[in-house]
Structure 1
Amino acid sequence: MRFPYSGNGTWTPDYHCGFIDAVKRFFIGYMEFRGRSSRREFWLAILFFIPVSVLIFLIPAAGTVSGILWMLATMVPIMAISFRRLHDANRTGWWFLLGHVGTILALAMLVIIAFGLVIIEIGMIMVIPHEPPKLDFHNPNSFPGMLLTLFYVSLGMAGISLIIQAFLYSLPSKPEGVRFD
């Protein structure tokens, strides 16, 4: 593995790193938002991150807790390597927000949906002794239908956000990105 820092103390991209080196650089540069990371380094680190995340969440019983701890532990390194990847494509770190606005809005919508489902559940508990309510999820004008529509919109926004992220992180390296070194 090449030493990741240049003479002036910023992260330099490794355009020929292997899988192990990319993972090492991912963890070594966990707080380094300055400098640049190559496409290869970024995507190999992501290729490590996603399967490990899925496997951790699949662990029975402890999966949720360990998964949340894993996500919290890797949130900053993911942001750092994303910023550096954008720098290599001659984009500022602010472009990171563009790729994640849809995800943030989708999560906000999911919170609203959760509150809506709680309201429906409370309503069902209060009505059950009298007459079971008829929940119409297929009618977009009903409250359950609105929640379902909101869920589909949030999925769409998350999907668009993923497409934007894939596009941004796949941009080629540009010599002008040296300004971030």
Structure 2
Amino acid sequence: MNFTDAVKAYFLKWNDFRSRSSRSEYWWATLFVTLASFPVGFIIGFVIGILFLTAGFSETTMEIVVGIVMLPIQIFIIIASTCLVIRRLHDVDKSGWWYLIIFTIIGIIPLLIWYCSKGTDGENRFGKDPLEQLQ
């Protein structure tokens, strides 16, 4: 899966907790979210800041409005990224519940290993092989 297809899949499957995601889909989408988050947040904050400060509003009011505008975007990213991680775990034949080990001290280690591991060949209990669907 290439970068463009992975980004499309990220947005189209933002609430899909059931299927599978290949390594390329996971890493391309993660790269996109990581690189796009800063400029989008900066532009929104900059535009609102200019509008509010030139209109004479306080910095506190401006910060509250930026927070309110950014909240739905952040909620969407959290949900879509959680779905992406769960689909990636499904590809290596792990339950999405394994994602909860991120809250332990060393939980990131097995997660990183699974994120980098080749998915199950062919169909598994979570669905068809995402690499077969691309061909």
2:94 aligned with 1:173, yes or no? no
Q: What is the 5 A alignment of 1:106-117? A: none
Q: Secondary structure at the match of 2:18?
A: coil
**Contact 2:86 2:96 (C-alpha < 8 Å) held by counterparts:** yes
What residue number does 2:95 align with? 92
Return the offset for 1:48.
Answer: 0.3
What residue number does 1:55 align with? 39
Q: Distance in 2 between matches of 1:55 and 1:97?
A: 29
Moved more, 53-62 or 80-89: 53-62
Return the offset for 1:70.
Answer: 2.2
Larger radius of gyration: 1
Percentage of identical aligned residues: 30
The TM-score, its normalising length taken from structure 2, stands at 0.68
Q: Deviations over 1:105-150 (max 9, x none)?
A: xxxxxxxxxxxxxxxxxxxxxxxxxxxxxxxxxxxxxxxxxxxxxx
What residue number does 2:6 align with? 22
What residue number does 2:18 align with? 34
- The alignment yields a C-alpha RMSD, in angstroms, of 2.3
Q: Distance in 2 between matches of 1:174 and 1:167?
A: 14
The TM-score, its normalising length taken from structure 1, stands at 0.52
Return the offset for 1:170.
Answer: 1.2
Structure that is richer in helix per residue: 2
Q: Cα 1:33–1:55, aligned 2, differ >3 Å: closer, same or farther? A: same
Higher relative contact order (CA 8 A, sep 6+): 2
Return the offset for 1:161.
Answer: 5.1
Q: Secondary structure at the match of 1:179?
A: coil
Q: Distance in 2 between matches of 1:162 and 1:19?
A: 25
Q: Distance in 2 between matches of 1:32 and 1:68?
A: 21
Unaligned runs of 5+ in 2: 50-61, 128-135
Q: Secondary structure at the match of 2:118?
A: coil
Unaligned runs of 5+ in 1: 1-16, 103-156
Q: Distance in 2 between matches of 1:79 and 1:22?
A: 15
Q: Cα 1:47–1:31, aligned 2, differ >3 Å: closer, same or farther? A: same
Give the one of 73, 86, 90 matched to 1:70.
73
Q: Distance in 2 between matches of 1:89 and 1:81?
A: 13
Return the offset for 1:163.
Answer: 4.4
